[in-house]
Amino acid sequence: MEDIIGILKKHDLLKVIEEKVDIDIEMGHIAFLEVKKPDSKALLFLNPVSKRLNKEFNIPVLMNIFGSSKALNLIFGKDVSDISKDIEELMRLRVQAGFKGKAELFNRLLSLKNIPPKNIKGKGLCQEFVKQGDKVNLFNIPILTTWPEDGGAFITMGQVYTQSLDGNMRNLGMYRLQVYDKNHLGVHWQIHKDGMHFFNEYKKEGKKMPISVAIGGDPLYIWCAQAPMPYGFFELLLYGFIRNKKAKLIKSITNPIHIPDDVDFVLEGWIDPQNLALEGPFGDHTGYYTPKELYPVMEVSCITSKLEPVYHATVVGKPPIEDKYMGQATATIFLPFLKTTTPELTDYNMPENGVFHNLILAKMKTRYVGHAKQFMHAFWGVGQMSFVKHAVFVGDDAPDLKDYEAISRFILNRTSKDNVIISEGICDALDHASPNACYGGKLGIDCTGSEIEGESREIINDAELLDKMSLLCREIKDVRQFMTDTKTPVTFVALKKERLVREVFRLLRPVKRYTKLLVFVDAESDDIDNLYMLIWKVTNNIDAKRDIFLEDEFFGIDATVKGKSDGYEREWPRVVNCDKNVLENLRKRRLVEFDEDFLKKFWI
């Protein structure tokens, strides 16, 4: 961690804040605004305080270290695309003819000796200070409360180390942890996570589960913690591959879990499978608060640390946030792994305003009719890709998937009712739009073919279209048209909803001569001029089976807030947003800079 701070400082990617800043809300707000700047920097808070706890801390807090592409490459020590190439070469290893070919293979295999982590004996750097028993106190660590409606303080950059019941498998995961009191944490691991699989083994046998949470150290640990590795693979194998050196692991003092020697803090403990507690709410990376739910409780038996530790944290919420850059690295590095299941895949992109699992754009070489549809089902059946809600497939002739203007036109010129698939399957536990938790609708669009044929729409201006639509439905307050020169003109409709949106869509059939795709949003809360945030809203708020209407070549999408009148029985979550008074106070103290345009751009 000290090395990374020095590297970021050397490259002018670190902002040091000496003023006292509260760990409750203030730090989170500063980091939330900072990561949205084009010249985003890491933040090192030297004097954290807590008015709530009436405490001052001598432990610095580091945030936003993954806050730019440049910082990301510095942390990895190389360009992430080079890592992807190394993985692809490794997967293609073959014994070549002749002495030179065999020698090259031997040297490549020899380099792999540094991949497996190494257990070391003795006292670790992370164990210079040891607190056990009554001396354990989580409130002595500057753990942040990041959002006004959070259920409490949460560890947000914790490396959670667990092992299977027989000890043969180890796992590193990134799960949020809520502070209940001085020695108990709520562990938010979802049903599809390896930690939860291990937990079920211990629960079945009625045994307590060992767990250690590391904070700090090499930031690459935390990236590996969120990497979508196959079940049974220890994530620190990936660390060894990227760093070309073994991760050195030391045994925890009060349980059998091994953790990296150079982390800043370690929270050791045990989970009683019978002891569950309400965890949340928490303002998550979807930009919504996740509700209170029952999760396992970790009893902290020991806290160890370096002599001069740094506390590492992040803030999540509406995009763009730090995981924008972490997710881009993941997409690049794991492309070779995806190709093993879908070899014709040439590229893919998960836009950050689609919240990654909500939207994927994939480019492929099509070999036969229906190939893209086959790909859709393959994607929905592979590891963490199975949680993707909306997938759009294009051919190898499509523009760069990160050129959103060009790829949008390409897709809209190839979208028809015949190439849309609506299916269903498992969803991420954080998805709130599906009627049932963890299960809902899926959308796939096959845009690998040629441009669709048919008559172009008769395009009129927004004011004229609003007049015509208002005569058909008085609930429509405004409209805005986009991509009107494509075969699928898009119209966002600001609606003050008084009935089912499906009924409104049917009333608007006469306007199909002017537009093809109607996207309904809430008039009171949504800015229909802001496409970036509208994509965030739409991909979050729809369930494909319930909210997409296909009628000949006239389509509708209901991205409004749902309630019981829509047949939605779950609790619709609140949007995560900043506290205005806190923001204004931070501005007066010159800890943040912003104007109304900046706030409007990101719906703050």
For 329-348, how does the pLDDT look when each residue is reduced to its tens digit (9 = 90+)?
Answer: 888 888 887 887 788 989 99
Peptide bond into 148 cis (omega under 30): no
Q: What percent of the chain has pLDDT over 90?
A: 75
Q: Which domain holds residue 165?
A: 2-77+115-313
Residues 73 and 206 in one domain: yes
pLDDT given at position 194:
74
Distances (CA, A) of 244 to 76, 115, 329, 359: 11, 7, 18, 33
> Which of 314, 400, 319 has the alpha carbon at shortest distance from 355?
319
Residue 93 lies in a domain: no
Q: Across residues 38-43, what is the average pLDDT?
A: 96
Any idea what the CATH number is for the domain that residue 278 is in? Answer: 2.30.110.10
Domain end call among 418, 447, 476 = 447
pLDDT given at position 91:
62
pLDDT given at position 80:
87
Residues 436 and 401 in one domain: yes
pLDDT given at position 279:
95
pLDDT given at position 552:
86
Tokens at residue 508, please?
């608007």
User: Quick one: how far is CA 500 from the chain centroid?
Assistant: 31
Cα–Cα dist 424/439, whole Å = 7
pLDDT given at position 330:
87
pLDDT given at position 96:
55
Tokens at residue 174, please?
């990134």
**Position with higher pLDDT, 437 vs 417:** 417
Q: Across residues 197-206, what is the average pLDDT?
A: 90
Residues 179 and 302 in one domain: yes
Contact present, 269 and 255 (Cβ < 8 Å): yes
Judged against a pLDDT cut of 80, whether residue 302 lies above it is answered with yes
Residues 170 and 300 in one domain: yes
pLDDT given at position 228:
82
Place of tokens 């354990």: 136
- How many residues does this entry show for the chain? 604
pLDDT given at position 398:
96
Residues 200 and 266 in one domain: yes
Q: Across residues 158-179, what is the average pLDDT?
A: 94
pLDDT given at position 89:
74
Residues 549 and 417 in one domain: no
Tokens at residue 42, please?
């890491």
Residue 577 lies in a domain: no
- Per-chain mean pLDDT for the chain: 91
For 272-286, how does the pLDDT look when each residue is reduced to its tens digit (9 = 90+)?
Answer: 999 999 999 999 999
Place of tokens 């969120």: 226
38 residue type, one letter: P
Residues 485 and 542 in one domain: yes
Query: How does residue 93 score in pLDDT terms, banded at 50, 70 and 90?
Result: low
Contact present, 314 and 326 (Cβ < 8 Å): no
Residue 497 lies in a domain: yes
Residue 49 lies in a domain: yes
Judged against a pLDDT cut of 90, whether residue 14 lies above it is answered with yes
pLDDT given at position 99:
53
Q: Alpha helices, DSSP H only, in 429-543?
A: 462-472, 501-507, 531-541
Q: Across residues 10-39, what is the average pLDDT?
A: 97
Give how many domains the chain has, as a whole number.
3
Domain end call among 288, 313, 338 = 313
User: What letters, b where the CB count within 10 A reaches 16 and e where it falls short, cover 373-402?
Assistant: eebbeebbebbbbbbbbbbbbbbeebbebe
pLDDT given at position 229:
79
pLDDT given at position 221:
95
Residues 304 and 330 in one domain: no
Residue 539 lies in a domain: yes
Residue 589 lies in a domain: no
pLDDT given at position 102:
45
77 residue type, one letter: G
Measured between alpha carbons, how far apart are the two ends of the chain, in Å? 31
Residue 288: how many CB atoms within 10 A of its CB? 24
**Position with higher pLDDT, 244 vs 9:** 9
Residues 298 and 169 in one domain: yes
pLDDT given at position 276:
95
Cα–Cα dist 267/127, whole Å = 11
Any idea what the CATH number is for the domain that residue 396 is in? Answer: 3.40.1670.10
Among all residues, which ones are annotated catalytic? Answer: 284
Domain end call among 400, 422, 447 = 447
Considering only the C-alpha atoms of the chain, give the largest distance between any 2 of them, rounded to a whole number of Å.
81
Residues 418 and 480 in one domain: no
Query: How does residue 108 score in pLDDT terms, banded at 50, 70 and 90?
Result: low
CB burial class (10 A; 0-12, 13-18, 19+) of residue 40? Answer: buried
For 508-551, how does the pLDDT look when each residue is reduced to its tens digit (9 = 90+)?
Answer: 999 999 999 999 999 999 999 999 999 999 999 999 999 999 99
Residues 495 and 553 in one domain: yes
Residues 19 and 161 in one domain: yes
Tokens at residue 576, please?
């995560």
Bridge partner residues of 572 (DSSP):
none
Query: How does residue 114 score in pLDDT terms, banded at 50, 70 and 90?
Result: confident
Residue 361 lies in a domain: yes
Cα–Cα dist 342/332, whole Å = 15
Residue 103 lies in a domain: no
Cα–Cα dist 428/440, whole Å = 10
Contact present, 56 and 47 (Cβ < 8 Å): yes
Mean pLDDT check: name the lowest of 158-172, 222-236, 557-571: 222-236
Task: Give me the torsion for CA of 69, 71, 76, 80, rounded to 10°.
Answer: 10
Q: Across residues 203-207, what is the average pLDDT?
A: 93
Cα–Cα dist 60/47, whole Å = 6
pLDDT given at position 403:
95
Place of tokens 């050196």: 245
